[in-house]
């Protein structure tokens, strides 16, 4: 099921904000325009059977397709093993799908679509309401930290976006962090954001090293723009699958 949804997410990412519907319209080869048959659209299997090339013009099919299909399938399986067959499982899978789509879109275009991130924020708030007693969340003056986690993480990113004029951090990252805080709570959200910065820093350093030793053919410096949403989203899944949080880090350090 996850690989099928992953195939649909590829369509969403490619057609979003292009004026094309990702619900209707036949899938086509981007090189020759050939309409694709059902046997050319089987998640993972079609790519492998066709050798990663169009059946007609033999042009290379992007590796984005099988990678997104495989990762979505793996994430769906992981979420099922973590939560089991619970009533909220469809909600968790829907949120996971949004996160995958945002990650791929930001990686390709360096922007997080408002429609996706606002949907994620709304669904994360629904999760917060369904997993916490309302009296605990809105107990004045002792408001729950999990309720405040979203605005706190949003303010953290928004501050760097504001003082840098958008050069250090995108405002889309701030909106994404709002949903992360409500989805994971304060301790889990702070852990995910911290891990995201670590992963982003390590990834950037690796790319610069590969560039210096002439393995990678691209230009990258410490001033280069790198999409940050994929690192945040990867960290969200790490937190979900491991249940690590700030308390776990503090315990480990002690």
What 8-state DSSP symbol labels residue 144? -
Q: Is the pTM of this model over 0.85?
A: yes
Q: Give the tens place of pLDDT for each residue, 28-55.
A: 887 787 888 878 889 999 999 888 998 8
How far is CA 211 from each of CA 109, 158, 225, 230, 251, rounded to the nearest angstrom? 22, 31, 16, 21, 38
For 53, the 3-state DSSP assignment is strand
Polymer length of the chain: 254
Q: What is the mean pLDDT of residues 170-179?
A: 96
Q: What is the mean pLDDT of residues 70-93?
A: 97
Asked whether residue 197 carries a pLDDT value surpassing 90, the answer given is yes
Q: Between 235 and 165, where is the model more confident?
A: 235
Q: Give the tens place of pLDDT for each residue, 214-238.
A: 665 666 665 667 899 999 999 999 9
Query: Which two three-digit tokens encode residue 8?
Result: 């649909």
Predicted pLDDT at 102: 97
Q: Give the tens place of pLDDT for each residue, 103-124.
A: 999 999 999 999 999 999 999 9
Backbone dihedral angles phi then psi of residue 21, each to the nearest 5 degrees: -80, 135
Asked whether residue 253 carries a pLDDT value surpassing 70, the answer given is no
For the chain, the maximum distance between any two Cα atoms, rounded to a whole number of angstroms, is 67
Predicted pLDDT at 142: 67
- Is 105 in contact with 116 (CB distance < 8 Å)? yes
Q: Give the tens place of pLDDT for each residue, 50-64.
A: 889 988 888 898 899
């Amino acid at each position: 099921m996850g690989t099928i949804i992953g195939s649909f997410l590829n369509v969403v990412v490619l057609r979003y904000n292009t004026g094309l519907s990702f619900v209707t319209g036949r899938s086509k080869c981007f090189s020759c325009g050939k309409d694709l048959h059902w046997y050319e659209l089987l998640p993972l299997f079609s790519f492998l059977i066709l050798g990663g090339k169009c059946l007609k013009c033999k042009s290379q099919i992007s590796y984005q397709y099988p990678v997104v299909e495989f990762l979505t399938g793996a994430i769906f399986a992981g979420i099922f093993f973590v939560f089991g067959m619970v009533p909220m499982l469809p909600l968790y899978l829907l949120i996971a799908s949004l996160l995958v789509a945002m990650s791929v879109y930001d990686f390709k275009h360096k922007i997080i679509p408002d429609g996706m991130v606002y949907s994620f924020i709304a669904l994360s708030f629904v999760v917060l309401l369904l997993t916490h007693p309302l009296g605990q969340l809105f107990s004045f003056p002792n408001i729950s930290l999990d309720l405040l986690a979203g605005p706190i993480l949003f303010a953290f990113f928004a501050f760097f976006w504001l003082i840098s004029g958008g050069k250090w951090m995108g405002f889309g990252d701030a909106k994404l962090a709002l949903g992360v805080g409500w989805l994971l709570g304060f301790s889990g959200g702070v852990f995910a954001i911290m891990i995201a910065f670590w992963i982003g820093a390590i990834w950037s350093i690796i790319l610069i090293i590969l560039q210096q030793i002439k393995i990678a053919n691209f230009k990258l410096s410490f001033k280069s723009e790198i999409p940050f949403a994929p690192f945040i989203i990867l960290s969200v899944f790490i937190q979900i699958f491991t249940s690590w949080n700030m308390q776990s880090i503090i315990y480990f350090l002690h």
